[in-house]
Amino acid sequence: MMMIKSDVLIVGGGNAGFAAALSAAERGRKVILLEKSEEASSGGNSFYTAGATRISHNGLEELTDFVEPDERHAVSEVPAYSADEYLADLCKVSEGRNDPELSGVLVSESNPTVRWLQGMGLKYRLMYERQAYRTEDGGYLFWGGLHVGNVGGGKGLMADHRAAAKRLGVEVIYDCAAIGLILEDSRVCGVRYRTSSEEGEFRAESVILASGGFEASPELRRRYLGEGWQNAKVRGTPGNTGEMILAALDAGAARGGDWSSCHSVAWDAWHPENESNLELTNQLTRGGYPLGIVVNNEGKRFGDEGADYRNYTYARYGRDILAQPESAAFQIFDASSRPMLRSEEYDMPGVSVVTAPTLAELAQKACISVEGLKDTVRSFNESISGGAPFDPNVKDGRRADTEPPKSNWARSISTGPFYAFPVTCGITFTFGGLKTDTWGRVLTEGAEPLEGLYACGEALGGLFSGNYPGGSGLAAGAVFGRRAGSIA
């Protein structure tokens, strides 16, 4: 059995873990980071993201201080996104169940933390292909409060993190799974680990858990999220199986946040490799639903596709799809809406899609009820209010007064060919984790710090419940990783 000592020991090599490592190493601490996966499949859930990071800012002029140059900036409009708007969005999507102190820190420190990471060598850009539509004059208008992302997406994010950590002397050990905490006199002083060839201990003055949630464990999903969740597809890393969260609870930590809900999205249902796909990563998401309708295999709609911008609804729709027959649904578009869909998702290699010249043929080929789909589309088309012009850049109020209604972006589905994209529930991460203070100190049931133990990233609970504003996960990982590393 090997025993190695460090000042700061970090469990988990995603965005939050590396932010914590950079912050601690910047202070001159000896930092070791343990990553469960081999290097080629490392990066946690962060690797699988599009790199979108939600920050408050004052508009394009400020953002050009730290994003990569782009000739399109000259014809772009990026509305300011204030701290008050950010906080209101967190409260809105969680229906007020978010921790106010954690939320306040996330909002106030999101911008300076991204600037700090940019100074560490991480590269950012405006997300034209995901967060902007063309305007009539040929420019670009950004929407939805989420404007900045990493160059190269999640893959670029983690490559930049690893390079920065190497420059600062952080030791990263791959293929090394933490399997338990070591306590002495009620203080956490290390972890037990296992590799493919040995077991041992790492001792440290401080241990930071950045080991993710429990979304990759079918058994824990079923236990905490409910029956049926064992059938969800795991979008990201297969390594987030919750052992270290449970180990912290056994050591006296308190639960934090909502253990009964998670981030889950519409996900390619028929792709043969639609779990933990290291090559396609986020391209298996299907986020174009505001431009069409979504039906189950009975041909019936079951939600408001236009309730809000995609950024504020996509993380809850996986749950709604899971509740449908066979945990499946179909996104339906016609020839007029199909060209507006994001190429990275809807034209990706191996995309699952059914195409037909008529709705009846589409339904037959997709195994959707023919009469059900025809009735739904007829009712939907007839109920569209004729007043507001269609405009994807704003919540246009173009409504379909059917059941359920579509509140914005309703357009008649009437021009062939027609398209059906099969989707299921893709789970991203669980919202429940460990209870911490705003510096990431893990707390006991008595609200006292569990000495020596910190948490950040998806292991920290309290920020999200039921839903999530897009891009706030990477922002939270960076903010609270940096904070934990600054005091560990």
In this structure, the answer to whether residues 308 and 393 fall within a common structural domain is: yes
Helix (H, G, I), strand (E, B) or coil at 187: strand
CATH of the domain at 344: 3.90.700.10
The predicted structure's pLDDT at residue 388: 81
The predicted structure's pLDDT at residue 1: 54
In this structure, the answer to whether residues 435 and 357 fall within a common structural domain is: no
Asked which of 426, 441, 461 is the last residue of a domain, the reply is 426
In this structure, the answer to whether residues 57 and 128 fall within a common structural domain is: yes
Strands 433-434 and 441-443, bridge-based pairing: unpaired
> Does 246 fall in a domain?
no
Per-residue burial over 292-316, b = 16 or more CB atoms within 10 Å of its CB, e = otherwise: bbbbbbebbbebbbbbbbbbbbbbb
Measured from the Cβ of residue 195, the count of other Cβ atoms closer than 10 Å reads 15
Chain mean position to CA 457: 11
Distance CA 224, CA 234 (A): 16
> Does 244 fall in a domain?
no
- Domain containing 363 equals 263-426
> Does 438 fall in a domain?
yes
296, two tokens = 């189950």
Distance CA 123, CA 117 (A): 8
**Which alpha helices (H) appear in 251-405, and where do they start and end?**
314-322, 343-346, 359-366, 370-382
In this structure, the answer to whether residues 120 and 57 fall within a common structural domain is: yes
The predicted structure's pLDDT at residue 89: 98
In this structure, the answer to whether residues 161 and 17 fall within a common structural domain is: yes
Q: Which helix (H) or strand (E) holds 221?
A: helix 218-224
Asked which of 388, 411, 426 is the last residue of a domain, the reply is 426
In this structure, the answer to whether residues 202 and 58 fall within a common structural domain is: yes
Distance CA 230, CA 380 (A): 33
CATH of the domain at 463: 3.50.50.60
> Does 251 fall in a domain?
no
Angle among Cα 464, 469, 471 to the nearest 5 degrees reads 105
In this structure, the answer to whether residues 347 and 457 fall within a common structural domain is: no
Work out the angle between the directed axes of helices 15-26 and 100-119 (0-180°, nearest 10): 70
Asked which of 399, 426, 453 is the last residue of a domain, the reply is 426
Longest CA–CA separation in the chain, Å: 73
> Does 232 fall in a domain?
no
The predicted structure's pLDDT at residue 111: 98
> Does 453 fall in a domain?
yes
Total count of domains within the chain? 2
User: Could you tell me how many residues make up the chain?
Assistant: 488
Alpha-carbon torsion (156, 158, 159, 161), positive or negative: positive
Q: In the beta sheet, which residues pair with residue 442?
A: 436
Instruction: Please name the residues in contact with 323: beta carbons below 8 A apart, sequence gap of 6 or more.
Output: 228, 302
Instruction: Please name the residues in contact with 262: beta carbons below 8 A apart, sequence gap of 6 or more.
Output: 213, 215, 221, 225, 229, 319, 427, 428, 429, 430, 431
Distance CA 145, CA 62 (A): 15
In this structure, the answer to whether residues 153 and 184 fall within a common structural domain is: yes
13, two tokens = 């090599």
> Does 100 fall in a domain?
yes
In this structure, the answer to whether residues 374 and 316 fall within a common structural domain is: yes
In this structure, the answer to whether residues 406 and 453 fall within a common structural domain is: no
In this structure, the answer to whether residues 422 and 435 fall within a common structural domain is: no
Q: pLDDT means per 10 residues in the chain (488 residues)?
A: 83 98 98 98 98 98 97 98 98 97 98 98 97 94 97 98 98 98 96 94 97 98 97 98 98 98 98 98 98 98 97 96 97 97 96 98 98 98 88 94 96 97 98 98 98 98 97 98 98
> Does 219 fall in a domain?
no
In this structure, the answer to whether residues 418 and 459 fall within a common structural domain is: no
- From the list 436, 460, 463, the residue with the least C-alpha distance to 86 is 463
Q: Which helix (H) or strand (E) holds 206?
A: strand 199-209
